[in-house]
Amino acid sequence: MAGAPPPRAPPRSGKTWQDPNRRLVLGCLFRVSDRCGMAYRQDISHCFGDGLLARAEYDRLLAQTQPRLAQLAAARRDGNLPLLQLPDARDDLAACEQLAAHLMRDTSALVFLGTGGSSLGAQALAQSVDLYRPIAPAAQGKPRFHFLDNLDPWAMDSVLSDLDLRSTRFLIVSKSGGTAETLMQALTAIGRIEAAGGGKYIKHHFGVITEPGDRPLRRLAAQYDIPVVDHPPRVGGRYAVLTAVGMVPAICLGLDPVAIRTGAAAVLDPLDPEAGAVEPAAIPAAEGAALSVAAARTLAQPMQVFMPYGDRLERFAMWHRQLWAESLGKQGKGTTPVTALGPVDQHSQLQLYLGGPRDKLYTIFTQSLAGAGPRAVTDDPDLAWLSGRTIGDLADAEQRATIDTLIANGRPLRTIAIDRPDAPTIGALMMHFMLETILAADLLGVDPFDQPAVEEGKQRARAYLAELGG
């Protein structure tokens, strides 16, 4: 098997990483520069009233976020919480660009190996630009992108068997460097490349992102001279989308990492300790945190339904599900995140939402869909209501109808409206929900950055594997 020659890593087309000018408009409307065209609008007005959430409880909880917001503002200024420095960071992007160039050179397929926070953020970014299509052929000079985030023996074998391994590259991501599923995938992929005759070219087929230190994945990379980019040790995996974990895939996908981070920075702009006390009502993420905890204390069995309209935010909803569940589900506290997708889940879950128990808080994401997509043409008079309409017209009507129906049936509903899921918008939404999660954890009295309960299962899995012998 002929391997790829050593990669060149020039700056792309003389491009330099520069900040677009950004400005912040309060009142739940954020905009990044006109060049980026980003906006998202949060509306929580339909969450309160008879049979809904108590406004007084929400107001009390919102006020309680102020001390934590002040702490976060100071941490951003002083560098005590690296997550908050990432939106303004640029020094790490050269290494991200170099690894991306290594992975994209003469590449027909790029396979992402990682699980949970090491994969979901990159999947959300890929889907936002319509490149989360595992079976889509290479087009317009782009390779095929595959995300193998679940450890399934048949899926792994199928992907490796279908690809031309001579021009396939792999990005392996594990914060700890010891994630069992990711190590198994990595060893399997390396074995396939070696079996195909490419053993001496292993380093040209792989890239690694992991923490510094003596770690199994880092030792594996050193064994084969595979290039490595560091995962920041003080940024947890599920909060890592703005690190190399998200930025290397973003560059491979053709997204601008600066635009993503600039969108995230706009969300943090109100956290300015020099500007005086931070006003929680000016922070949409604080409103969301207070709303979620109010729902947890008001509803008998609190669940949060996270429902975007349109495929391009489906993986974003999955990313949020992990962030929320793993950060808050501790000490008998938290709310259960439920993901849905419109319009398709109108035909599966909507009946439960409208006719079932009143135990859910709904967040629906809308996009500007009207006029988008192909147009229907028919001479059938019974279908005249569809004739001349686009797919986007119908999807837009359905998202509006679902919102109005939930409101009419007395369901607490938050809406977040975006124009399109471009790079700064996705960056802003991700930072919004990371901040919302941190604030909700503070209100619940739990640590948003650990996950002690899952360690027991990992230890048991290793023990059961050892029982196989050999």
Rounded to an integer, the average pLDDT of 190-199 is 94
For residues 213 and 362, membership in a common domain is answered with no
CA–CA separation, 114 and 126 (whole Å) = 15
Which of 237, 264, 291 is where one domain is finished?
264
HSE (side-chain half, CA atoms, 13 Å) at 231: 27
* Encoded tokens for 400: 């509006």
Confirm whether 454 is domain-assigned.
no
Arithmetic mean of pLDDT, 147-160: 95
pLDDT at 442 over 60: yes
How many independent structural domains does the chain possess?
2
Question: Minimal CA–CA distance to 414: which of 39, 30, 47, 29?
Answer: 47
Known catalytic residue: 274? no
Q: Is the pLDDT of residue 23 over 50?
A: no
User: Which token pair is 211?
Assistant: 């923490």
Quote the pLDDT of residue 428: 97
pLDDT at residue 15, rounded to an integer: 35
pLDDT at position 246 is 98
Residue 314 bears catalytic tag: no
The whole-angstrom separation of Cα 33 and Cα 111 is 33
Cβ burial of 89 (10 Å; 0-12, 13-18, 19+) is middle
Residue 467 lies in a domain: no
Listed residues 234, 264, 294: the one ending a domain: 264
Write out pLDDT tens, residues 317-341: 999 999 999 999 999 999 999 999 9
- Find the catalytic residue in 274, 347, 456, 467: 347
To the query of whether residue 326 is one of the catalytic residues in this protein, the response is: yes
Domain assignment present for 452? no
Residue 105 lies in a domain: yes
Residue 385 burial class via C-beta count within 10 angstroms: exposed 0-12, middle 13-18, buried 19 and up: exposed
Residues 255 and 308 in one domain: no
**Does 99 share its domain with 221?**
yes
Question: What is the Cα Rg of the chain in Å?
Answer: 23
Question: Is the residue at 412 inside a domain?
Answer: yes
Indicate whether 424 pLDDT > 90.
yes
Report the CATH number that the domain containing residue 432 is assigned in CATH. 3.40.50.10490
One domain, residues 90 and 60 = no
> Does pLDDT of 135 surpass 70?
no
Q: Which residue range(s) make up the domain with 153?
A: 86-264
Question: Is residue 275 a part of any domain in this protein?
Answer: no
| pLDDT for the residue numbered 453 | 85
Q: Which of 233, 264, 295 is the last residue of a domain?
A: 264
Considering 15, 200, 455, 458, which one is annotated as catalytic?
Answer: 458
The model's pLDDT over 283-314, given as tens digits with 9 standing for 90+, comes to: 999 999 999 999 998 887 789 999 999 999 99
| Annotated catalytic residue within 97, 211, 287, 326 | 326
- Are 238 and 293 in the same domain? no
Residue 459 lies in a domain: no
In a domain, 78, yes or no: no
Please indicate, yes or no, whether residues 172 and 237 belong to a single structural domain of this protein. Answer: yes
Cβ neighbours around 161 below 10 Å, total? 9
Domain co-membership, 188 together with 289 = no
* Same domain flag for 256 and 310: no
